[in-house]
Structure 1
Amino acid sequence: MTTPTAALAAQGVSIWLDDLSRQRITTGNLAELIETRDVSGVTTNPTIFQGAISAGIGYEEAIAAQAAAGASVDEAIFAITTTDVRDASDIFRPVYDATGGVDGRVSIEVSPDLAHDTEATIAQAKELHAAVDRENVLIKIPATLAGLPAITEVIGAGISVNVTLIFSLERYDLVIDAYLAGLEKAQAAGLDLSKIHSVASFFVSRVDTEVDKRLAALGTDDAKDLVGKAGLANARLAYELFEKRFAESRASDLVAAGANVQRPLWASTGVKDPALPDTLYVTGLVAPGTVNTMPAKTLEATFDHAEITGDTVTGAYAEAHDVFDKLAAAGIDLIDVTEVLEVEGVDKFIASWHDLQETVKAALESAAKGTDA
C-alpha cells in the first residue's frame, strides 16, 4: 500500500527534513528516513544546531577535539556544523545522483549576525561552500534587502543557494530577480548553469500566527472566518508568481541554456495552532516542483495520516486572492505583517546563534578543564 509520504512525492513534492544532528547521522536514522519516509533532503538553521549541540549527544568527542586544538567558539561551531552537513551530504549523495542534482540536498546557513551585511554574507557563503566541499550542499542566505545582492553574487559564482526567510510576495519577486541576475552572471563567466540549483523558502505557519493574532484582536465574525487561512493563501499566491515569472522570456531563455528554475520551498510547516489540522501545511500545499521541509513531528504526522488528494495549489488561486481581499477589508495590513515577521525571524535566528555560542563556549571550557585535570 502506498504511504502518504510516497503519495506526496509522487505528486512532485520533495520531502526534506527540517532537522539535523550528529546522532541522526551516526545511528543510521537519516538513512532510514530516506528509505521509509521518502525524505530526499535536509535543511538546518541556527535553532536546529543549537538544539542538537546543547543536547550534547554525539558531540562530546568533537568538542574535546576542538578544545584540545585551542579553537575559538566560532571556529568550533564552524568545524562541527560543516562536518555534520558534509556527513549528511554523503548520506544523501545517491539521492542527488538519482535526481540529477535536484534533490539529495543539505542546507547550511550563513551566520544570522550577517543578515544585514552583504559583503560578509558573500564571504561566509563561499567559506561554508568550500569547507563542506560537497556538490549537494545548499548555502542558506536570508532574503533581507542586504541578502538580495549576496544571492546574486553567490549564484553567479556557481554556488547553489537556499534563499530563506521569505514572507511576502513583494520580496519573493525580488528574490527571483536576484536568482536570475546570478544566473546571468554565471552564464557570462562561462559556468555550467545546469549545476546551479536554488530553492526559495517561503515561510507559512508564522504568517498565520501573526495574522490570526490580529484577527483575534478584531473579534468579529468575519475575522473569525479568516483564521488559519492567510498562510496557505500567501504560499499559493507565491506559487502563482513562480509560474508567472519562470514563464517569462528572461527566465525561459536561461532555462533553454541549461539553467534550473528556482523551486518554491514551503518552510515553517509545523502547525502552531492546535485547533488546526497537524498536516495542514502539507496537504494544502501540494504542487509539482515544490519542496516541503518538515520538522520531524510534521513528517511523522504526514506519514501516519495525511490525505494526499493531488494538486491543492494551482486550482486555488482565486480562493487565495479572495482571502487576501477579505483580510484587507478587515483591516489586516499584510505588508506590515510580513515586515514584522522578517524582523522577528532574523532576531530569532540571531538569538539562537548566540545561545549556540554560549553552549559551545561552556562545553569548550568544560572539556579544557577535563584535559587539564
Structure 2
Amino acid sequence: MTSKNLDALSGAGVAIWLDDLSRKRLQTGNLADLMAEKNVVGVTTNPTIFQKAIVGSEVYTEQLKDLAVRGVTVDEAIRMITTADVRAAADVLRPAYDASDRQDGRVSIEVDPRLAHSTAPTVAEAKQLWWLVDRENLFIKIPATREGLPAITEVLAAGISVNVTLIFSLERYRAVMDAFLAGIEQAKANGHDLGKIASVASFFVSRVDTEIDKRLEKLGNTDLRGKAGVANARLAFEAYEEVFASDRWKALAAAGAKPQRPLWASTGVKDPAYVDTMYVDDLITRGVVNTMPEATLDAEADHGKPVEDSIRGFYAEAHKVLADLAAAGVSYDDVVQLLEDEGVDKFEVSWKELLEAVQGELDKLR
C-alpha cells in the first residue's frame, strides 16, 4: 500500500525521487519496493552517497576481486562499480521512465568532483559516463560552477541529459537556465531528437538555512532562522516561471523540447528544532522534483502535510525574507559562494576517501 501523504504529493505534481543508491538496495529489491510503496520515480547519487555505499560493504567484494586480478587503476575500478549500480538502477526505474514520457525514471551519476572547475575534462567525463552506463534514462550530474556552465551547454548539445547540481544562488540559477536553453538550441541544430533530452536543475535548500542560521545566531537575530532556504527556493521557482514563459523557450517547446525542471535537493532537515518535512511540504507545486534521503521520505509518508501548492502565491513573502536578511547584516552573495565552494570540497573529500578505501581493497585482494 502507498502512503496517502505521498499519493497527495505526487498528485500535486511533485516527482518523488530517492537521494540514495547502493548495490544492497538493488539486490534486495528495496528500490523496486520504494517505487511500489513510496511513489519513488527517480534516483540521485553523489560522491558522498557512493562513498558510504561502497566502503565496508561486502556486496562489492566479488567485483573488487575481479578488478584486482585485472590490475585496473583505482579510478577505473570506481567507475566500473558505480556505473554498474547506476545501470542496474536505471533498468529498475525504466517503467517509470516509459510511463512519464521520459521525464522521470531517471538515475543520476556525477562527473568526477575533482573536475568541477575544468570545462573540457567535465565534458569528456560526461560523454564517457553516458557511454559506459548506456541507458537513455540516465542523467549526468554537472556542478553549476562557472566552469561547469559551458560544459552543461556542450553536453546537452551532444544529446546527453543533464542534472545540474550544487545550485545555491538565484543569479547562478538564471545562468544555469540560460546554459540549458543554449544547449537545447545547439542540440536542435545538431539534429538531435529533443524529446529524448531531459534536464533538471538541483537547487539546494537545507544547507542555505544551516549557514544563514549560524550567521544569524552570531548577530543575535533569531527571528529569521529557518526561513532562508525555503524563501530562496521559492524565488528560484519564480525565476523558472519567468524564463520558461519566454519566446525563446516557446520556440524550443514547439520543436519538442521539455523544460528543465527545478529539483529540490538537500531536503533532509539538518536542525532537529525544525519540522522534518519542511523542505517537502513548503516546496510543493506542479512540475518540480524533490529528491529525498530515505529518512525524509519516511517522515513525509508518516506525518507530512502536503498541500496543493506552497510555492506560487508566496513570492512577495520570500522576497521580504531575503530583504530582511540583508537588513540584518547577512550577505546573501557571500553565503551562496561559500556554500558552492564547500559543496565542491565536500564531494571531492568523499571521492578521495572512496579512492583510498578502494585502493586499499584492491591492494589487499591482489
- TM-score scaled by length of structure 2: 0.99
Q: Give secondary structure in 1 for the equivalent of 2:164.
A: strand
Q: Give secondary structure in 2 for the equivalent of 1:59.
A: helix
* 1:39 paired to 2:37: no
Match of 2:206 in 1: 205
Distance between the aligned counterparts of 1:41 and 1:2, measured in 2?
A: 17
User: After TM superposition, where is structure 1 displaced by more than 4 Å over at least 4 residues in a row?
Assistant: none
Tell me whether 15-24 or 251-260 shows the greater mean CA deviation: 251-260
1:113-147, Cα deviation, whole Å (9 max, x unpaired): 00000000000000000000001000000000000
* 1:71 paired to 2:60: no
The correspondence of residues 246-261 of structure 1 with structure 2, limited to 5 A, is 246-261=244-259
Distance between the aligned counterparts of 2:168 and 2:92, measured in 1?
A: 31
Asked if structure 2 preserves the Cα contact closer than 8 Å seen for 1:236 and 1:320, the reply is: yes
Out of 285, 305, 312, the position equivalent to 1:287 is 285
Asked if structure 2 preserves the Cα contact closer than 8 Å seen for 1:23 and 1:57, the reply is: no
Asked if structure 1 preserves the Cα contact closer than 8 Å seen for 2:117 and 2:145, the reply is: yes
Distance between the aligned counterparts of 1:190 and 1:72, measured in 2?
A: 37
Distance between the aligned counterparts of 1:57 and 1:133, measured in 2?
A: 26
The correspondence of residues 207-246 of structure 1 with structure 2, limited to 5 A, is 207-219=208-220, 223-246=221-244
1:32-90, Cα deviation, whole Å (9 max, x unpaired): 00000000000000000000001313111111111111111000000000000000000
Q: Which amino acid aligns with 1:293?
A: T
Q: Give secondary structure in 1 for the equivalent of 2:313.
A: helix
User: How many residue pairs are counted as aligned between the two chains?
Assistant: 365
Q: Which amino acid aligns with 2:115?
A: L
Q: Which amino acid aligns with 1:262?
A: Q
Asked if structure 1 preserves the Cα contact closer than 8 Å seen for 2:3 and 2:37, the reply is: no
Q: Which amino acid aligns with 2:30?
A: N
Distance between the aligned counterparts of 2:58 and 2:166, measured in 1?
A: 29
Match of 1:123 in 2: 124
Give the deviation of 1:190 after TM superposition: 1.2
Distance between the aligned counterparts of 1:252 and 1:209, measured in 2?
A: 37
Q: Which amino acid aligns with 1:327?
A: L
Give the deviation of 1:2 after TM superposition: 5.4
Match of 1:109 in 2: 110
Give the deviation of 1:257 after TM superposition: 1.1
Match of 2:309 in 1: 311
Distance between the aligned counterparts of 1:84 and 1:174, measured in 2?
A: 32
- TM-score scaled by length of structure 1: 0.97
Give the deviation of 1:315 after TM superposition: 1.3
Distance between the aligned counterparts of 1:24 and 1:141, measured in 2?
A: 25
Q: Which runs of 5+ in 2 are unaligned?
A: none
1:260-312, Cα deviation, whole Å (9 max, x unpaired): 10000000000000100000100000011000000111111111110112100
Give the deviation of 1:253 after TM superposition: 1.0
Asked if structure 2 preserves the Cα contact closer than 8 Å seen for 1:137 and 1:160, the reply is: yes
Match of 1:371 in 2: none
